[in-house]
Amino acid sequence: MTEDKSATEQRIDNAIYGPPKIKPDEQRKYLGTFRERVCLTISVAELQERNWSFAVSKELRRGIGNQVFLNGNLPHAELRDYIKSATAANANFTLKTEPEFRTDPDSLAVVVAAKTAVYQLPVDVKKRYPNTQVQPSTNQEPSKKHFWQKLFKREDK
C-alpha cells in the first residue's frame, strides 16, 4: 500500500476514523493535553494518599496555568476539593470521562495546564512540593440548618 493517498481517500479516512491526532499517547497520559503545557500533575495514588488541593490553588495563583483537567472516572468525593480550588481561582476545569482515562494508581487524576507551551519542570506534585505539611481532608460537609430552623432561629443541641 502506498503512503501517498489522494485528497479524496484522506477525506474519507478522516470521516470514518476521525482526524489523525498528534501524540495520542501523550494526550492520553496528560488527560487530553500536551506535556509542554502541563504545570502540575497528581496521580491517582497521590490523590488517595492526601489532599493536594493547596498545591492546585498555589499553581493557579501563580497565573501560568489556568486550566484544570480532572479524571472524571474517579469518585466525585475525591475530586470535590480540586473542583472547589479551581472554582475559587476562577480557572476552567474539565472532567474527562472517556474510557481511555484509567483509574490505575499510576494514571493521572489531576492536571493543571496552560493554553500554550510553558515547559515547567518538575510537574509531579511530590517533587514540586516535597516539604509540605500534611493537610487534613475537608470532605466533611458542615452541618446545614433547615429552612424552619433558620426561620424560627431554633438551635438544636
Domain that holds residue 56: 29-116
Q: Please report, for residues 26, 62, 139, the alpha-carbon distance to residue 80 in angstroms, rounded to integers and kept in the order given.
A: 26, 21, 8
Q: Give the pLDDT confidence score for residue 3 in this predicted structure.
A: 60
Q: Supply the CATH number for residue 41's domain.
A: 3.30.1330.30
- Do the domain assignments include residue 38? yes
In a domain, 136, yes or no: no
Across 34-126, the runs of DSSP E, i.e. the strands, are 38-43, 67-71, 92-96, 108-113
Q: Looking at residue 14, what is its pLDDT?
A: 85
pLDDT in tens, 58-106: 999 998 889 999 999 999 999 999 999 999 999 999 999 998 898 899 9
More confident residue, 124 or 21: 124
Q: What is the pLDDT of residue 97?
A: 92
Residue 92 or 134, more confident: 92
In a domain, 13, yes or no: no
In contact, 126 and 47? CB cutoff 8 Å:
no
Cβ neighbours of residue 139 closer than 8 Å, sequence gap 6 or more: 77, 80, 81
Confidence of residue 57 (pLDDT cuts 50, 70, 90): very high
Angle at alpha carbon of residue 107, lines to 25 and 20, rounded to 5°: 20
- Specify the pLDDT at position 143: 58
Domain count for the chain, please give it: 1
Does 102 reside within a domain?
yes
Percent of the chain with pLDDT over 70: 82
